[in-house]
Amino acid sequence: MDITGAVERFVAGRWIAGPEIQDSIKVAKRLNRAGLSVIINYLGEEIEDKAKIKKTIDVYKNLIEEMKTNRINGSISLKPSQIGSRINAAMLAENYSKILDLAEKEGIFVWLDMEQPETVAKTIHLYLDAMPRTNAGICIQAYLRRSGKDISSIANAGGAIRLVKGAYNPGIHGYSSRADVERNYRSLMHDLFIKANRFMIATHDRRLIREAIGLSKSYKKTIQYGMLNGIENKYAAELAKSGESVSLYLPFGTDWTEYSYRRLREGSHALLLAASLFRNQSV
């Protein structure tokens, strides 16, 4: 028996809906019943095979239709490197706008995930080129020094921003200590309240969430909160019950290794990971 594989599958199973679109729909329905919206992602990244990219676009097309048919309260989120960034900018832009059009027709919002620091400028360019769009948003990472300027240009273009701490290695482009990342997150969050109208505070950090709730009252702005499925579902449902708008990022598919390792790194304090594995995740 492959013990490592079995452990990996068990761990991934906490965060990932399952291999098929229908698995994501089933989990999405359960989360919707608990008052939570979903951000569904088809797993896959760094794709260089054109046939696989085409299959990915087809999966997103089917996913959008299934979400509409099943009246799922949710959006989708995709990675540039799964829809053509590893081939060339033209293919990426064509595929991105194809998905935006399909989703727009069905009233579904499309988030762009943010990947490694070297890809950030191109991803922001892709997003801004597609504006103005009401159904498109982009992720911005607080561990990067450039993010303040990016928030200003995206907010000026009327874009929607999902603020995260960042899941890759920021290297020379960013802050490496947890304290510095948290400080920058806090500062960018204040910028968002001042400059932007559509944004999501995507973190499990309760101090930041509490602060955002306070700011949303002072600025009289209704905002969204985002968390990853399987980490703090109970807390997310409590927040939703208290009247906040909360979405859970919900991946599905079979390409789960990279996603799972990023989550394991974040929970690398063994206690944190154990807590998320065994905490009551009843929603």
Report how many residues bind ligand FAD under the rule CB under 6 A.
Answer: 26
Residue type, 218: S
> How many C-beta atoms surround the C-beta of residue 263 within 10 A?
23
267 binds ligand FAD (CB under 6 A): yes
- CB nearer ligand FAD, residue 168 or residue 256: 168
Could you say which residues in the range 71-130 bind ligand FAD, by CB under 6 A? 113-114
CB of 227 to ligand FAD, least distance (A): 5
| 172 class by beta-carbon count within 10 Å (0-12 exposed, 13-18 middle, 19+ buried) | exposed
Contact yes or no for 83/56 (Cβ under 8 A): yes
Phi, psi of 208 (to 5 degrees): -70, -40
193 binds ligand FAD (CB under 6 A): no
CB of 230 to ligand FAD, least distance (A): 8
Sole residue written with tokens 């979405």: 247
Q: Which stretch binds ligand FAD (CB under 6 A): 3-11, 124-132, 151-159, 263-271?
A: 263-271
14 binds ligand FAD (CB under 6 A): no
- CB nearer ligand FAD, residue 65 or residue 128: 128
**In the chain, helix, strand, coil percent, each to 5?**
55, 15, 30
Angle at 196 between CA 223 and CA 168, to 5 degrees: 80
175 binds ligand FAD (CB under 6 A): no
x-marked contacts with ligand FAD along 197-236 as a string, rule CB under 6 A = -----xxxx--------------------xxx--x-----
**Residue 32 Cα distances to 233, 246, 252, angstroms:** 12, 10, 17
Chain residues binding ligand FAD by CB under 6 A are 39, 113-114, 139, 141, 162, 164-168, 202-205, 226-228, 231, 249, 263, 266-267, 272-273, 276
